[in-house]
Amino acid sequence: MRVLRNGLLIIGALLIAACSADDLSDYRQEMGPGITDFGERNVAQFKAKMRDIAHGGQKVVAITQFGDSHSAADFFTGGLRDALQARLGNAGIGWVTPMNVRGQRNAEMTWRSAGWDLASSRTKSDLDFPMGGYIASPTRVGGYIDVTLTNPEKSRGLWDVRMVMKARSAEAISVTNDRGHLNLSNALKGIGRWQTMSFRSPMPFRITADDRQVELGGMWLQQSNQPGAIVSSIATNGAQLSIWNRWSPEWYRELSATNSDLVILEYGTNEAFNDVFDADNYRRNLVDSIRNIRMQLPNAAILLISPPDALLRNGVGSCADRRPPSYEVVKQTQYAVARSERVLYWDWQKAMGGACSIEKWEQEELAARDKVHLSSAGYKLSARLFYRDLMSFVGLSQ
């Protein structure tokens, strides 16, 4: 499929400046694949909820995206978040890591910490990881984590916070804000080793360790009594779908607590670079993951995003010769599972222009030189294309 090079230059600049629907009209007509529905059973209620909020309904639509570095940069999810919240209202951020993760970003959040360490399931497999695969642990009593928003204009009002933690008592930590200390005596809820502490606070707030024997998992941040959209990014650089196997089985309870209306799975790029790839095992893992989501969120729609186009950086020969060794089988497996499990599917590679489009995106500064990742402008363009497809799918104009 032909890519209009000059059009990409113009569109990339306009996206950064304004991101209006007209900016993408020509490019979208040339490239957009749309969302394929293979029989997702919860489509009708998802569409109805989106339309209700768009027309003034006082509800919250929660979208949770799991993924790898394409999601961990929060340019794609951040672009989707901005577009949805501009149309539907800002209900908050959703899931975030307990503290800053080196090499990753969250478009909405800033953390400052001292006296805390972070462990990741990407590099460790012997810990009891909660959802997301991160554990923050204090190195000393008095260690703190400051949780604040990048944009102060979004910090007004109260926030409902759910913080996953493992501790001997609620007194293991204290939370303070500009109004003083919060009373956490009745804040710890849930059963099991990982529990949920819930409280309401303005932004920013500080978490202080009053006990060395405490661990923090992810946090859920939602604006109190505000309708609109939430888009969470639960992602890790270098992750494959199999990273879920390193998380405690209890993490699915946390997923259920998100009340997500749409769960997006954005994995596949790292699997595509495996020289030895077990397609049958990958298919079983993907099917099991979808069915586990169904069990925890029986009313949520599920959508698979294919990996974006990619090439071997130092490859030689034709486009086919430079494909990541397992790219095609990964994409074919995802497509087949989307059909067999009757979920939604969005073809990111096709949205970019098809095979070898990553080279043209690189020429237009929409992709990185590694021919795997996109630039911030490229992710924002991808998010805008996906947003347009999503709004068209649910029956809303952009």
The tens digit of pLDDT for each residue in 230-262 reads: 999 999 999 999 999 999 988 999 999 999 999
Identical fold for domains 1-91+227-398 and 95-225, yes or no, is: no
Q: Under CATH, what is the fold of the domain 95-225?
A: Jelly Rolls (2.60.120)
Q: Which CATH number fits domain 1-91+227-398: 3.40.50.1110, 2.60.40.420, 3.50.50.60, 3.10.580.10?
A: 3.40.50.1110
- Decide if 85 contacts 230 (C-beta within 8 A): no
- Is pTM beyond 0.85? Reply is yes
**Nearest Cα to Cα of residue 105 among 67, 137, 75, 136:** 75
Q: Identify the pLDDT of residue 174.
A: 96
**Residues of the chain falling short of pLDDT 70:** 1-32, 155, 190-192, 315, 398
The tens digit of pLDDT for each residue in 49-107 reads: 999 999 999 999 999 999 999 999 999 999 999 999 999 999 999 999 999 999 999 99
- Decide if 175 contacts 182 (C-beta within 8 A): yes
Indicate the DSSP class of residue 241.
G
What HEC string does 108-157 produce? CEEEEEECEEEEECCCCCCCCECCCCEEEEECCCCCEEEEEECCHHHCCC
Q: Identify the pLDDT of residue 32.
A: 62
Q: What is the dihedral of CA 295, 297, 299, 303, to 10 degrees?
A: -100
Domain ranges within the chain, ordered by starting residue = 1-91+227-398, 95-225
